[in-house]
Amino acid sequence: MNILLMGPPGAGKGTQAVVLAAELAVPHISTGDMFRQAVKEQTRLGLEAKGYMDSGALVPDGVTIGIVRERLALPDCGKGVLLDGFPRTVRQAEELDEILGGLGSRLEAALNIDVEEQALIERATGRRTCRDCGALYHLSFSPPKTAERCDTCGGPLYQREDDQDTTVKNRLRVYQEQTLPLLRYYRDKGILLEVDGNRPMAQVTESILRALRQ
């Protein structure tokens, strides 16, 4: 099954994707994580993406579609994928349909996690990420057992560059302008599923699994 997790910045896509990918036994493909990895490794892609990411803007479609096309061609995607944060423009969505079509496959469900704006800002600004394994924490909602350290691997936790208050607000604006129209795109195709994300993480997971089963 090919599934897309959509939602505004801080909605909980990454958090839910980790659980769902394990549950469904498919790879978790996050363009945000791929870009952050490239920035960390200072590759050409990373150098190009960094400026856009730090300001809260989208990386240009051509670049983003290129890295997804390469990723989806790898053999581990044969049984399906869980996409997180891609597509987020109508052009990316159209290209994704074409890429999957070329692989003899298609997107089965686009799941939107809806969260109120004030909670999104709180979630993003309180988020901490493990530098080594990428595990997600939140200072209030999901704190690590030891301050500043990852429960899983002991790595140091850091705050994402784009999780400063003003950048988060900019990302929300970009989401409304460029990504929100995608809901219509998937509703028209009859594959949009909507989940209320204004609840604790485990309850959101339950709702997602229920929506997918139906």
* Nearest C-alpha neighbor of 81 from the set 24, 134, 136: 24
Q: Which of residues 104-133 bind ligand AP5 (CB under 6 A)?
A: 123-124, 126-127
Cβ atoms 78, 45 nearer than 8 A:
no
Residue among 104 and 180 whose Cβ is closer to ligand AP5: 180
Residue among 2 and 15 whose Cβ is closer to Mg ion: 15
160 is annotated as an active-site residue:
yes
Task: Select the residue interacting with Zn ion from 3, 72, 113, 135 (CB under 5 A).
Answer: 135
Closest approach of ligand AP5 to the CB of residue 35, in Å: 5
69 is annotated as an active-site residue:
no
Examine residue 171 and tell whether it contacts ligand AP5 (CB under 6 A): yes
Cβ atoms 136, 15 nearer than 8 A:
yes
* Nearest C-alpha neighbor of 105 from the set 144, 78, 143: 78
CB count in 10 Å sphere of residue 200: 10
Q: Which of residues 7-26 bind Mg ion (CB under 5 A)?
A: 13-14
Of Mg ion, ligand AP5, Zn ion, none, which one sits near residue 135, judging by CB under 5 to 8 A according to partner kind?
Answer: Zn ion
- x/- string (CB under 5 A) for Zn ion, residues 151-180? -xx-x-------------------------
Cβ atoms 114, 104 nearer than 8 A:
no
Q: Which amino acid, residue 202?
A: A
91 is annotated as an active-site residue:
no
Per this entry, what is the length of the chain? 214
Select from 9-17, 99-107, 147-155, 206-214 the region that touches ligand AP5 (CB under 6 A). 9-17
Q: Which of residues 78-107 bind ligand AP5 (CB under 6 A)?
A: 85-88, 92
Unique residue bearing structure tokens 């909602």: 141
Examine residue 35 and tell whether it contacts ligand AP5 (CB under 6 A): yes
85: left (phi over 0), alpha (psi -120 to 50) or beta: left
Q: In Å, how far are 13, 50, 183, 188 from 17, measured between CA atoms?
A: 6, 23, 19, 24
Task: Select the residue interacting with ligand AP5 from 58, 157, 195, 208 (CB under 6 A).
Answer: 58
Would you report the helix, strand and coil content of the chain in percent, each value rounded to 5? 50, 15, 35
Q: Which residues bind Zn ion (CB under 5 A)?
A: 130, 132-133, 135, 150, 152-153, 155
Q: Which residues bind ligand AP5 (CB under 6 A)?
A: 7, 9-15, 31-32, 35, 52-53, 56-59, 64, 85-88, 92, 123-124, 126-127, 136-138, 141-142, 162, 171, 197, 200-201, 204
